[in-house]
Amino acid sequence: IGTSKAFNKERILGAILFEMTMERKVNGKCTPDYLWNEKGIVSFLKVDKGLAEEKDGVQLMKEIPNLAEIVKKGVEYGVFGTKMRSVIKKAAPAGIARGVDQQFEVAAQIVAAGLVPIIEPEVDINNVDKVECEEILRDEIRKHLNALPETSNVMLKLTLPTVENFYEEFTKHPRVVR
């Protein structure tokens, strides 16, 4: 797929890689190097280890015991950033706050290593209280973005909201990479 002419910067902005994919070679080059220098596509390394059981309406990320090592390897291989995901199942303020806290705590470690994290607190699209989840999530993300140091930049990957342009304020935030 990666060597196909259709797989190019006109159609694709970035590719999320598993650690083993990052370590592989494409046409004699490490995957991130090939993607950037041959295709103009940015590489992101998936760092989460899956989801924990649902608690308080949220599935947090499982522990990432070797995060520093994985991120260091990502820097060495030339990835641009990382990707990690949690899932919001119910409009539970404490659970959503914990999920966003966890995302930004891990993001801080990734930023410190020199990469740009994609923060992804996904809202389950089948939630009966999806709008409430989105309101709580927006407020929690806003708090964290406003507390980021000027030297920290993050990306957000958010579920399409029920209300059009609901997250628009984040597109103008100085800490959010666009």
120 catalytic? Reply is yes
Residue from 83, 120, 134, 140 carrying the catalytic annotation: 120
| Distances 22 to 17, 40, 57, 78, 169 between C-alpha atoms, Å | 6, 16, 33, 9, 33
Q: Strand 14-17 to strand 42-46: parallel, antiparallel, or no bridges (unpaired)?
A: parallel
**CB distance 4 to 41 below 8 Å:** no
User: In a 10 Å sphere around its CB, with 0-12 CB exposed, 13-18 middle and 19+ buried, how is residue 124 labelled?
Assistant: middle
Amino acid at 64: I
Amino acid at 19: E
Amino acid at 83: K
CB atoms within 10 A of CB 174: 8
List the catalytic residues: 120, 157
